[in-house]
A and B are shown apart, each in its own frame.
Chain A
Amino acid sequence: MAEYSKQRGAGVVIEALAKRYGEVEALAPTDLTVQSGEFFSLIGPSGSGKSTLLGCIAGFVPPSAGRILVNGADIVAVPPYRRNIGMVFQNYSLFPHMSVAENIAFPLRMRKLPPGEIAGRVERILSVVRLPGMGDRAPSQLSGGQQQRVALARAAVYDPPLLLMDEPLGALDKNLREEMQYEIKQFHRAIGATVLYVTHDQEEAATMSDRIAILNHGRIEQAGEPRALYEQPRNAFVASFLGDANLFEVRRVDGAIADRIAVETSDGLRLVATHAPVTVARLVACIRPEAIRLGNDPERTGETNVIDGVVADVVHAAGSVRTRVSVGDRLVTVRAATQRNVTGWRVGEAVRMAWHPRDTLLIPKE
């Protein structure tokens, strides 16, 4: 295993990379820098351009403009088979007519390594992905998770400095997916390559990544560490895509105390925040469900946001309670950790919601 940790991942710089299909802009001119050895995820709804971006890097999609620098060299004109990039495909794409060992040996054979060394490397990586002795099996004899590990081994056996993964866990069920997330993360630490990971599952991205870029309509809405994206979303799309969010369209009003900022919804709900973007007039207030406390009669202070409502429904999920409170014609979601001996609220009960002004995130509407 030590052998795999020696290499360093490649730094990737993407400059004004764009892809158009006729009138359709699949990828708007995009800039992105991925650090050496980083685990970087691209997330977004389908059609957001994340797979196009990955396809450009892999070499399957010729970009309309821009550059892709891997360790400083532009690879746009280089055919995929000379890019020395590893790739894990959504449906594994294992060669069905080759055994597991032949699949993993394939990139080494293409690189004309001596047969003895190929056998040794295949053996070693099979134990890294915890499939020792499975080399003679056909891919079809393996379970989904095992096939996924073979695909990982095949993509990494030749020590590519950059590994691309295109929704590699999309075909697995939930439990297996969580297990594989952990294994991929372990694998990443072991090989040290830079990983670019495409998924539409924000939770998966948040769990695994050093940094995330959120794409929508062919452009990167925001890139950064998962926590930063969650706590300081740049716009409403990012706020709602990453985690749950209660969003209110608001405008600024006067009458705040000290350095607080007051805003009001069109139907007269008054909220208080600590920060606001200066230049933007139309704002969205984002309050995370777990920031809101529910009570019958919390003390009313000028510093606290307080809204009264009626419990609309209560759902007990694993580890947390989700309560939805109707306020006028809107529903506000509140989430709290399940506590022993504490029963939840009953539907129809009057309830008061409260949260600290710093949990009112004001973000530009667009």
Chain B
Amino acid sequence: MAGGGILRIMLVGFAALVLGYLILPTFIVVPLSFSNQNYLSFPPPGWSTRWYEAMAGDLAWPQAAVNSFLIGVPTALLSVVLGTLAALAVKRGRLGWAAAASAVVVAPMLLPHVIMAIGLYPVMLDLGMLRGFLSVVVAHTVVAMPLVFITVCASLGSYGEALELAAMTCGAGPWATFRHVTFPMIRTGMLVGGVLAFATSFDELMLSLFLTGPGTRTLPRLIWEQLNMFLTPTIAAVATLIFAFSLLLLGAAAALQARGRAQPVLRHG
């Protein structure tokens, strides 16, 4: 603002400090993973790749990574289908209760996961699905679907319904309208939503704690168990790899959105 040269410098300096704080954990974890010590001193006195070797030598890690993918990918697919259906109905259906429906769809993302976890546990037990992949996929879909819903709603909001009405007057039935007009317009939103849903599942701990068993243990759950036992730089090595993978996902989502015309990715965690 005018008259505030010093104020301005202070503001920018403060912002820089806060952004530094936000990025700090990354700058600790990554170097730590290359430490040659078995205790967590920082900065590491020397460098090595021994913790990556230790990680590779422990079969539990690749197993957990595979499980996370086996859960994350179906979660993303299911979320995309259900989230897109809900978004279409809410944004295009002219339903009187659209606001109520979207409140119900978004709620699972914002309510504490622990409540859903202790509620889903007996339900999965009754359905005989407990500790199987399906139970975690379903639970993760409940909390990941809102992300697809929101990104697809944003895509649908970026153009008017007149486009679909135009297709209908041209003689396109509901399915043809979706295939030829709506889908090409929201494809990017669906993809980005799917990536976000996968990322949510990939990072989810609470539901996995209650619903996974030894055979379906996910990466976050394994890290969690290890953290509660010993703090070795092996976890830093795992964390670094996960971090690199997350950056890849983020890059993919950002690239998708740069190509499409959907909402900027920074709007959506």
Query: Closest residue to B169 on the A side, CB-wise?
Result: A87
Residue A237 is within 8 A (CB to CB) of chain B in the complex: no
B181 surroundings in chain A (CB, below 8 A): 95
Query: Closest residue to B161 on the A side, CB-wise?
Result: A60
Residue B57 is within 8 A (CB to CB) of chain A in the complex: no
Expressed in whole angstroms, the minimum distance between the Cβ of B178 and any Cβ of chain A is 12
Choose from A59, A79, A97, A107 the contact partner of B170 (Cβ within 8 Å): A107
CA distance A181 to B171 in the complex (A): 27
Which A residues, 79 to 121, have Cβ-Cβ distances below 8 Å to chain B?
A: 79-87, 89-91, 93, 95-97, 106-107, 110-111
Residue B184 is within 8 A (CB to CB) of chain A in the complex: yes
Q: Which residues of B contact A (CB under 8 A)?
A: 159-160, 162-163, 165-173, 176-177, 180-181, 184-185
Do A86 and B169 touch (CB < 8 A)? yes
Known contacts A95-B181, A110-B176; is-contact A87 B171 (Cβ 8 Å): no
CA distance A144 to B185 in the complex (A): 22
Do A158 and B162 touch (CB < 8 A)? no
Expressed in whole angstroms, the minimum distance between the Cβ of B189 and any Cβ of chain A is 14
Expressed in whole angstroms, the minimum distance between the Cβ of B236 and any Cβ of chain A is 46
Expressed in whole angstroms, the minimum distance between the Cβ of B239 and any Cβ of chain A is 41
B163 surroundings in chain A (CB, below 8 A): 93, 95
CA distance A155 to B163 in the complex (A): 13
15 further interface pairs, Cβ-Cβ under 8 Å (given A58-B165, A95-B166, A97-B184) = A79-B173, A80-B165, A80-B168, A80-B169, A81-B168, A81-B170, A81-B176, A87-B169, A93-B165, A95-B163, A97-B185, A110-B170, A110-B172, A155-B169, A164-B169
Known contacts A91-B162, A93-B162, A110-B176; is-contact A81 B169 (Cβ 8 Å): yes
Residue A154 is within 8 A (CB to CB) of chain B in the complex: yes
Of B163, B165, B170, most A-chain CB atoms within 10 Å? B170
A86 surroundings in chain B (CB, below 8 A): 169
Choose from B160, B167, B169, B176 the contact partner of A85 (Cβ within 8 Å): B169
Do A84 and B171 touch (CB < 8 A)? yes
Query: Closest residue to A104 on the B side, CB-wise?
Result: B170
Expressed in whole angstroms, the minimum distance between the Cβ of B188 and any Cβ of chain A is 11
Expressed in whole angstroms, the minimum distance between the Cβ of B163 and any Cβ of chain A is 5
Of B168, B171, B173, most A-chain CB atoms within 10 Å? B171
Query: Closest residue to B187 on the A side, CB-wise?
Result: A97
Known contacts A93-B162, A93-B163, A95-B163; is-contact A58 B169 (Cβ 8 Å): yes
Do B171 and A107 touch (CB < 8 A)? yes
B173 surroundings in chain A (CB, below 8 A): 79, 81
Q: Chain B interface mostly helix, strand, loop or mixed?
A: helix
CA distance A131 to B162 in the complex (A): 24
Query: Closest residue to B171 on the A side, CB-wise?
Result: A110
Query: Closest residue to B177 on the A side, CB-wise?
Result: A81
Do B160 and A91 touch (CB < 8 A)? yes
Expressed in whole angstroms, the minimum distance between the Cβ of B242 and any Cβ of chain A is 36
Known contacts A95-B181, A106-B180; is-contact A89 B162 (Cβ 8 Å): yes
Do A93 and B166 touch (CB < 8 A)? yes
Expressed in whole angstroms, the minimum distance between the Cβ of B260 and any Cβ of chain A is 11
Known contacts A81-B171, A106-B172, A110-B172; is-contact A87 B184 (Cβ 8 Å): no
Expressed in whole angstroms, the minimum distance between the Cβ of A200 and any Cβ of chain B is 18
Expressed in whole angstroms, the minimum distance between the Cβ of B161 and any Cβ of chain A is 9
Do B170 and A106 touch (CB < 8 A)? yes
The digit string for A113-135, where 1 denotes a CB below 8 A from any CB of B, is 00000000000000000000000
Known contacts A81-B173, A106-B180, A110-B176; is-contact A95 B162 (Cβ 8 Å): no
A-B contacts, 11 listed (Cβ < 8 Å) = A59-B168, A81-B168, A84-B171, A89-B166, A90-B162, A93-B165, A97-B185, A106-B180, A107-B171, A110-B171, A110-B172
Do B165 and A154 touch (CB < 8 A)? no
B159 surroundings in chain A (CB, below 8 A): 96
Query: Closest residue to A82 on the B side, CB-wise?
Result: B171
A89 surroundings in chain B (CB, below 8 A): 162, 165-166
Choose from A81, A85, A91 the contact partner of B172 (Cβ within 8 Å): A81
CA distance A81 to B173 in the complex (A): 6
Which A residues, 172 to 228, have Cβ-Cβ distances below 8 Å to chain B?
A: none
Expressed in whole angstroms, the minimum distance between the Cβ of A253 and any Cβ of chain B is 55
A107 surroundings in chain B (CB, below 8 A): 170-171
